[in-house]
Chains A and B, each alone.
Chain A
Amino acid sequence: MTQTPAAPSPEPQAMPLWRRLLGYIFDVRVLGVLGQMVFIVLVVLGVRTIGSNFADNAQRLGESQFICRDGNFSYRCAYDFMESESGFDIADTMIDHTNTDPYWKSFQVGVLNTLKVAIFGVILTTLLGTVMGIARLSNNWLISKIALWYVELMRNTPLLIQIFFIYFGVILTAPELNDALQPLGLPMFISRRGLNLPSLEFTSSASIWIAFLVLAAIQFQVTWVMLGRREERTGQASNRLQTGLIAFFLIAGLGWYVSSAVSDSQGLLVTKASRVRELGDLEKIMLQRTGANHLDDLARMPEEEVEDAAFQICAIEESASETNLTRQLSKLNVPYQIRRYERPDKATDSYASEKCEMFVASKTILAAERSTLESPSSHLILSVKEVPVVWSLPKREGLNLVGGSRMRPEFTALLLALVLFYGSNLAEIVRAGILAISKGQNEAARALGLTEGQRLQLIVLPQALRVIIPPGIGVALSLAKDTSLGIAIGFPDMYAVSYTTMNQSGRVLQLFVLIMLVYMLISLAFSVLLNWYNEKIKLVER
């Protein structure tokens, strides 16, 4: 309080030196920098205490962890051990992996598994969360109550118990493989060995077709943009979606035929003596064998007779070549039986010992295998017409299930539990998003005479999505992180694989750094996505 009379504008120069210095110290800017320096010193001291402890212990406990191949100690050799043989098998792999592969490869398998669960999880969670969020608002009392209890049940129990419950209580109490459940007659089977689902199998020509698909997508975009420009220029309305889709499917269809006509990688190994020169011949031979006039007549013949006459075909397990061939044989109505072998040489042995008449595989494999036969010249490799993508359905064969792809029980349980849990989180977000749209918006839309569909598409969805997507991305990130819970039921995700590696090699620190880096990359990807989205809607607001 300046109770003493002072000059209207006190000149700083008039002040004594010590007051001026004091003034400098009390300057907010100086105080800020000083405060932060104290803060840095405190942080550095804290980190140093932990760090020196750590360095001591690393010397004591971890010297062996930084050993180079030449026996020297160096921190740069921290990750050298990752190149040595892992020595453990991984049950669920997307790429080939054996226990002789290095740790790096095992880690890679783990990362891919983590990504697999995360990606499938996010897709399915989106579906379930949306359906359940809308169901919460359903005017059907029963449905909304069920959705409410679903959400409450999921949110109020630990995710880990849900995982255990689904794994031990649902998947592992399902029937054995030989009497797997087939819900509603759909081409899918549930057993305690996992879930068998239809799958797409790609032959080697798929790459050509995919190139065409990319082209088609570009064409679609070009058509879209060009029609849009024309609309702007001439004001002539056009159905951009329809025209674009026609262009897309034209090119995609063309690509399908081109890729199947151009490529010639699929082969069928037969003996010259069999008189088979092309697939069509099989029909004639079958008619001769059974004495039927027409292949349709086979249906009326005794089953055993047909089975005896059926062509015996060797194939390699889980190969697209088999599906590609059997699809065509089924079209021809020719009866056949497949014998599957793990490796090409086993199939060749079987073929050589005449357990089967033909051997289906890609031409390169067949050529290699033919040269191992006694008289290569007495065998022919026929070309089999190939389609780029084959739809493979699981079906029962004896006690086993063949075709399609099988999701292992651990994967199924983890995926299911994550989807159910995060589906409930997303359901609440979706519900809140829809409720956030004011009544006025709906009334305005109706007043403008929009149809119900238009109202949903043009008014409700775009606004609700703005509210839903940012927290939705958060849910996706949490889901991706919680794939690490797979370790509880033995799903070999990145975390579980690293844990095994840690136990085997004792390199705790290195692996923690690695794990953290991968998770941080995943988080970073999500936050980039979120920022991008937030920027985008901000722009739209202006």
Chain B
Amino acid sequence: MTTNEELTTPKAIGRGFNWQLFLQDNLTGSWMQTVTVLLLAIITGSYVYGKYEELPIVTAVVVALWILGIVSIIVSEIFHKPTAVSRWLKQNLLTSFANSLLTLFVVLVLVSAVNGIWQWSYVNANFNPAETAPEFRSANGATWGVLWGARKLLMTGWLEPIHSWRVWLGLGFILIMWLFTYITSRPALKEKLRVARMVLNGFWLLSPVVLYILLAGISEGAYNVTGTITGVAVLGAIYALLWSQKVIPFSWGSIIGTVVAWPLLYTIWWFIGNSGQFPPIDPDKWGGLLLTLIIASSVIVLAFPLGMILALARRSEVFGVPAWLIWPVAVAATLWGFTTTPELLATSRNLVEQIMSFWPVIILAIAYMIHRVFNGNIVAGVGTTFIELIRSVPLITLLFMGIVMAPFFSGEGVSIPKPWLVIVGYTLFSSAYMAEAIRGGLQAIPKGQYEASDALGFNGSQKMRFIILPQALRIVIPAIVGQFIGAFKSSSLVSIVGLFDFLGINRSIVSNPAWLGLRLELYVFMAIIYFTGSFLMSSYSRKLEVQLGLGDR
């Protein structure tokens, strides 16, 4: 019905008032309109009647206001003197017969809903944290005391109170960093504080480590020399790779930095560990909002680089393996496959097993896929397959897989805390979606940008590093923030696999005798927190979008 309403042509505003035209516009335009208006009138009428019996005063006031609104419009139309109020009402609430009826109906529904919520959450509610036991509760009111009583569980779960200061410190660290970032990115200071911003960025890069030390802690131990050397070697190799691809220039300063960075950081790490100030905390003790935030941030931090690699792999344009190379290899592999399981067909018990005994044919199918679908590009093939496989299953399957299958993949006797396992499962999931978001950004870059970079003589890595990725990532910032909001919200799924995150912790709260069954209060509170968090983040992302948009125009 709203379709009709909202798409009606604006009425011609003549000098005089034409009853026939008015009726035709509002009631007799088409038989559908007539039926709609009549039906609406009947429903609204009966609803008003029912509400009048329930809430006589409120209903009477609403109906009176409604009539007043209509009268004000009629009067202003007759005297051709529309006031601001009547004009607004005419344009927004009482546009036509059907719309006026709808407005009345909706207002009444809203009023009774708000009334119900008000009664439950305030009038009949009990706010005393000491009075949460069943005997204090009113039948139709909330028992808000549980929120205060269970605040520790809600915020940090089973974390020992002696460690609380570390959480506060972490929070303070992030807030201060954010504050500094905000200040230094003011347009007025942007150029002046260039160095400060670089230092700040360095701190942001280190922040996962800082937070890890605060929230997970470091155990004491001997200085690991081989590990240090390996670290230097890995960093050196990365540096060499980037340098050989001509993405970063050769300079003695950066080489010394690369060599020194790892031992320096490791030594600091080792000293902190052996000072005993930050003893390890069992991650299984994490809970409440803390766990939710840890999972959401770790997932985004890990999924972003992984997603970028996947996106680049899926879009990679290396020269494909030619057909004359694929097929002989595939056929040979297939034949070899048959020779490894020669007895399979002979011993099969039923049709399914007979079919399964031809499993090496799968190699041919894969070869066909590589040849035809991916034009010989195996990198793109593997990337695409991974992304599509992950995207086709629900998140909860991957979380369960993280938890239930971990014993199958880890070494013997190793037990990994559950939060790490769900973070791994979730990261795999998130990286596939992140890859698709980044791929969207890559696809949005015009072909001309690639051509211009080629024509200027950039090699593949340089082209990506200097031209394509900076533009693509800027495009996908909203999508990445969306992913982060998604991770923040969907991390609630870990409660299904037995973790006590912000949502999962309510299982322990409502089973406490003092708070038995106080689910609704908790759900409402959690919904408000999630809503506020997500809403703030999406508004921030919208702001960011506008800011970045200004940059390139």
Q: Touching in the complex, A and B, CB below 8 A?
A: yes
30 sampled A-B residue pairs with Cβ under 8 A = A32-B318, A36-B377, A39-B382, A50-B409, A53-B409, A54-B409, A57-B407, A57-B410, A76-B353, A140-B6, A140-B92, A140-B93, A143-B102, A146-B110, A156-B535, A160-B495, A160-B496, A161-B523, A161-B527, A164-B523, A168-B519, A168-B520, A169-B523, A485-B394, A512-B397, A512-B400, A515-B393, A520-B393, A523-B393, A524-B392
How long is the Cα–Cα vector from A155 to B527 in the complex, in angstroms? 11
Known: A142-B106, A156-B535. A164 touches B3 (CB 8 A): no
Asked if B379 is at the interface (CB within 8 A of a chain A CB), the reply is yes
Is A482 touching B394 in the complex (CB atoms < 8 A)?
A: yes
Residues of A within 8 A of B405 (CB): 508-509, 512
Inter-chain contacts of A515 with B (CB < 8 A):
393, 397
The 6 closest A-B pairs by CB, nearest first: A32-B319, A523-B392, A141-B92, A156-B534, A481-B394, A158-B489
CB-nearest residue of chain B relative to A519?
A: B393
Tell me the nearest residue of chain A to B349, going by C-beta.
A76
A32 to chain B, nearest CB (A): 3
Contact A139 B378 (CB under 8 A): no
Residues of B participating in the A interface, judged by any CB pair closer than 8 Å: 2-9, 30, 46, 91-93, 95, 99, 102-103, 106-107, 110, 318-322, 325, 348-349, 353, 356, 377-379, 382, 389, 391-394, 396-397, 400-401, 404-405, 407-412, 485, 489-490, 492-493, 495-496, 503, 519-520, 523, 526-527, 530-531, 534-535, 538
B493: nearest chain-A partner, CB-CB:
A160
Q: A33-B319, A33-B325, A509-B405 are in contact. Are A135 and B7 (CB under 8 A)?
A: no
Contacts of A50 in B (CB 8 A): 409
Q: Which residues of A contact B503 (CB under 8 A)?
A: 158, 160-161, 164
> A113: shortest Cβ distance to chain B, in Å?
15
Q: Are A169 and B519 closer than 8 Å at their CB atoms?
A: yes
**Cβ of A516 < 8 Å from any Cβ of B?**
yes
Distance between A522 CB and nearest chain B CB, rounded to angstroms: 8
Query: Which of these, B377, B379, B404, contacts A502 with CB under 8 Å?
Result: B404
Contacts of B392 in A (CB 8 A): 519-520, 522-524
Contact with B along A443-478 (1 / 0, CB 8 A): 000100000110110001000000000000000000
Interface membership of A134, Cβ < 8 A: yes
Beta-carbon contact of A485 and B396 below 8 Å: yes
A40 vs B378: C-alpha distance when bound (angstroms): 8
- How far is it, in angstroms, between the C-alpha of A156 and the C-alpha of B382 when the chains are bound? 34
Partner of A134, one of B6, B322, B349, B538: B6
Contact A157–B321 (Cβ < 8 Å): no
Given contacts A76-B353, A156-B534, 13 further A-B pairs with CB under 8 A are: A35-B379, A39-B382, A56-B412, A138-B6, A139-B92, A139-B95, A140-B99, A141-B93, A146-B110, A160-B495, A487-B496, A509-B405, A523-B393
| Complex contacts, A53 vs chain B, CB 8 Å | 408-411
> Given contacts A160-B493, A164-B523, are A139 and B6 in contact (CB under 8 A)?
yes
Q: Indicate whether A19 reaches chain B with its CB closer than 8 angstroms.
A: no
Which of the four size classes fits the interface of chain A?
A: 35 or more
- Interface flag for A542 (CB, 8 Å): no
Q: What A residues does B106 contact at CB under 8 A?
A: 142-143, 146
A173-184 CB mask vs B (1 if < 8 Å, else 0) is 000000000001
Q: Which residues of B contact A536 (CB under 8 A)?
A: none
Residues of A60-95 contacting chain B, CB below 8 A: 60-62, 76
The residue on B at minimum CB distance from A160 is B492
B5 x A36 contact (CB < 8 A): no
Contact of B397 among A161, A456, A516 (CB under 8 A): A516
User: Considering residues A35, A61, A142, A146, which has the most beta carbons from chain B within 10 angstroms of its beta carbon?
Assistant: A142
**Distance between Cα atoms of A487 and B92 in the complex (Å):** 44
Contacts of A519 in B (CB 8 A): 392-394, 397
Closest-by-CB residue of B relative to A28 is B319
- List residues 415-460 of chain A with CB under 8 A from any CB of chain B: 446, 452-453, 455-456, 460
CB-defined contacts of B404 to chain A, threshold 8 Å: 502, 508, 512
- Distance between Cα atoms of A193 and B166 in the complex (Å): 48
Q: Mark A481-507, 1 if CB is under 8 A from B, else 0.
A: 110110110000001000100100000
B523 neighbours in A (Cβ, 8 Å): 161, 164-165, 168-169
Chain A residue at smallest Cβ distance from B530? A157
Q: How far is the CA of A232 from the CA of B506 in the complex (A)?
A: 69
A142–B5 touching, CB < 8 Å: no
Closest chain B residue, CB of each to CB of A453: B30
Please give me the residue from chain A that is nearest to B389 by CB atom: A520
Assembled-state Cα–Cα distance A460/B6 (Å): 13
Cβ contact within 8 Å between B520 and A153: no
Query: Which of B95, B378, B391, B408 has most chain A Cβ within 10 Å?
Result: B408
The answer to whether B408 touches A509, judged by C-beta atoms less than 8 angstroms apart, is: yes
Give the residues from 111 to 162 in chain A that come closer than 8 angstroms, CB to CB, to chain B.
131, 134-135, 137-143, 146, 152-153, 155-161
* Residues from chain B with Cβ under 8 Å of A455 in the complex: 7
Answer whether A456 and B7 are a contact pair too, CB < 8 Å, given A138-B2, A140-B2, A157-B534.
Answer: yes
- Complex contacts, B409 vs chain A, CB 8 Å: 50, 53-54, 57
| CB-CB nearest in chain A for B47 | A184
Does more than half of chain B's interface fall in helix, strand or loop, or is it mixed?
Answer: helix
B520 touches A161 (CB 8 A): no
Q: Which residue on B lies nearest to A482, using beta carbons? A: B394
Interface string of A349-389 (1 = CB under 8 A from B): 00000000000000000000000000000000000000000
Q: Whole-angstrom distance between the alpha carbons of A400 and B101 in the complex? A: 37
* Contact A456 to B3, CB < 8 A, known contacts A139-B99, A155-B534: yes
Residues of A near B378 (CB, < 8 A) are: 36, 39-40
Chain A contact residues, CB within 8 Å of chain B:
28-29, 31-33, 35-36, 39-40, 43, 50, 53-54, 56-58, 60-62, 76, 131, 134-135, 137-143, 146, 152-153, 155-161, 164-165, 168-169, 184, 446, 452-453, 455-456, 460, 481-482, 484-485, 487-488, 495, 499, 502, 508-509, 512, 515-516, 519-520, 522-524
Write out the residue numbers on chain B whose beta carbons fall within 8 Å of the beta carbon of A499: 400
Contact B538 A156 (CB under 8 A): yes
A36, A39, A43, A499 — which one has the most chain B CB atoms within 10 A of its CB? A36
Whose C-beta in chain A lies nearest to the C-beta of B92?
A: A141
CB atoms of A134 and B3 under 8 A apart? yes
Residue in chain A with minimal CB distance to B348? A76
Residues of A within 8 A of B7 (CB): 452, 455-456, 460
* Cα–Cα distance between A487 and B392 once the two chains are bound (Å): 19
Cα separation A58 to B407 with both chains bound (whole Å): 9
Would you call A60 and B492 a contact (CB within 8 A)? no
Best-surrounded residue of A54, A446, A452 (most CB of chain B within 10 A) = A452
A508 to B406, CA, bound (A): 11
Closest beta carbon of chain A to B181's beta carbon, Å: 24
Let me know if A452 and B535 touch, CB within 8 A: no
B407 touching A512 by the CB < 8 A rule?
no
| Cβ contacts under 8 Å, A153 to chain B | 531
| Nearest residue, chain B, Cβ from A32 | B319
Question: Do the beta carbons of A36 and B534 come within 8 Å of each other?
Answer: no
Q: Does the CB pair A157–B527 fall under 8 Å?
A: yes
List the A side residues contacting B411 at CB < 8 Å. 53
B466 to nearest A CB, angstroms?
21
Complex contacts, B325 vs chain A, CB 8 Å: 33
CB nearest neighbor in A for B89:
A141
Q: Which residues of B contact A487 (CB under 8 A)?
A: 396, 496
Contacting pair B321 A33 (CB below 8 A): yes
C-alpha spacing A160/B489, complex, angstroms: 9
Cα(A185)–Cα(B353), bound, Å: 58
Cα A31 to Cα B412 with chains together (Å): 41
| A516-B2 Cα distance, complex, nearest whole Å | 42
Report the minimum CB–CB distance from A185 to chain B (whole Å).
9
Residue in B closest to A55 when the chains form the complex, CB atoms: B408
CA distance A516 to B394 in the complex (A): 9
B318 touches A516 (CB 8 A): no
How far is B489's CA from A482's CA once the two chains are assembled, in angstroms?
14
Given A53-B409, A168-B523, A452-B7, A39-B379 contact (CB < 8 Å):
yes
Contact across chains for B526 and A161 when beta carbons are under 8 A apart = yes
Quick one: given A141-B93, A142-B93, are A57 and B412 in contact (CB under 8 Å)? yes
